[in-house]
Amino acid sequence: MRYEPATRLLRLAVLLSGSHSGLTLDEMAERLEVTRRTVERLRDRLEEVFPQLWYEADDGRVRRWRLPRQSGVTLPPPRTAAIAAVETLARDLARAGDHARAALLQEAAAHLKAMLPADHLRRAEPDIEALMAAEGVAARPGPRLKLDPALMAVFRDAIVGMRKLAVRYRSATAPRAQRRILLPYGVLYGPRAYLVAEADGKEEMRLWRIDRITAPEPTAEAFSPHPFDLAAYAARSFGVYQEEPFEVALRFAPEAAEEAGAWLFHPTQRVERAADGALLVRFRAGGRLELCWHLFTWGDRVRILAPAALRAEMAVLCRAVVGVCAPSPGRAAAPRDQASSEPGP
């Protein structure tokens, strides 16, 4: 989104006064969706208006700029579209069964509305409702999340307080739930939600399905967490299944190259065009089964170049599907409707 110069300057002032640790020039450029050179000019203009603007170098000697809140920056009221976006996301999360995060977003939307003058709010509410009605999320098959806000609050308190958590956990193979002491580090959301935690006494990070956890109780015993990057942990796999990462190489046919080029298959992906117009995608990740499930949706428009084990697993999956879907003896298969593969008008 583009802003007029005065609006950009005001927005930058708000961003810098609302950041406790400050922002680098690159972070400012990303937030404002402008070039670094433009941000440098905006910073210079801002320093003329607010001499209190200052910076502090971090451990990597990168300057992080801040604007003290005592500088007299008056926050503009939140935009109608911003409030509508928060409420829309809350609605969509609630429909998906994620009532815990939906409740937090609804609370945030209520705070944003409270910042509006009464007459402004009265004019904005019809626009908020109109924007919410005009935006939605396409239905996707998958398990429905059942996340109890009270349950998630217990997890968050234990994570923030670095407290060991006593739970009852029923694994897929166990006939009944067993008592576990977990050291929680975070929550990972996907088709299902998982608590990322170590079992007490075992320095091995595992995923614990939240729908299989009951009676969570924070203990009085604290733990000292070791350095852990949830984003890096999640990036080890394609999906949520954790296994040793491997090098993946995929070739998308020329007719699928443009569509595949718009996809982010993995945060570590590297993309290049072949001479014939095909798209080559490479990344490092685990999760062979989930990767096969996804690649199956591309049909004959994708080839697995590496590794051989992934290609073999895909072949097994395809043979199993053919065995289930093959027509009965003596019954001809219905002709494929080419047009049906594309969404209708």
**Structure confidence by residue, pLDDT tens digits, 149-204:** 888 889 989 998 999 999 999 987 888 889 999 999 998 887 778 899 999 888 78
Q: How far apart are the first and last CA of the chain?
A: 29
Closest CA to 290 of 330, 234, 329: 234
DSSP 237: B
State the pLDDT at residue 74.
61
pLDDT of residue 180: 93
* Nearest CA among 208, 195, 197, 99 for reference residue 145: 99
For 288-300, give the secondary structure using H, E and C.
Answer: HHHHHHHHHCCHH
pTM, whole model, 2 decimals? Answer: 0.55
Query: Among residues 225, 224, 165, which one has the least CA distance to residue 195?
Result: 165
pLDDT per residue as tens digits for the range 269-309 = 899 999 999 999 998 888 888 888 888 888 889 999 999 99
Q: What is the pLDDT of residue 166?
A: 95
Label residue 87 exposed, middle or buried (CB < 10 Å: 0-12, 13-18, 19+): buried
Can you give the pLDDT at residue 141? 52
Please identify every stretch of the chain with a pLDDT value under 50, giving residue numbers as ranges.
Answer: 1-3, 335-345
Helices within 203-345 (DSSP H only): 230-234, 254-261, 288-296, 308-325
Pairing status of strand 193-199 against strand 270-273: unpaired
Could you give the domains of the chain? 5-71 (1.10.10.10), 80-134 (no CATH), 149-233 (2.30.30), 246-324 (3.30.70)
Number of other CB atoms surrounding residue 211 within 10 Å? 17
In angstroms, the CA 223 to CA 165 distance is 10
Q: What is the pLDDT at residue 330?
A: 57
Cis amide bond preceding 227, omega within 30? no
DSSP letters of 202-217? ---EEEEEGGGEEEEE
| CA 182 from centre of chain | 24
In this predicted structure, what is the pLDDT of residue 249?
93
**Separation between Cα atoms, residue 212 and residue 160, nearest integer Å:** 22
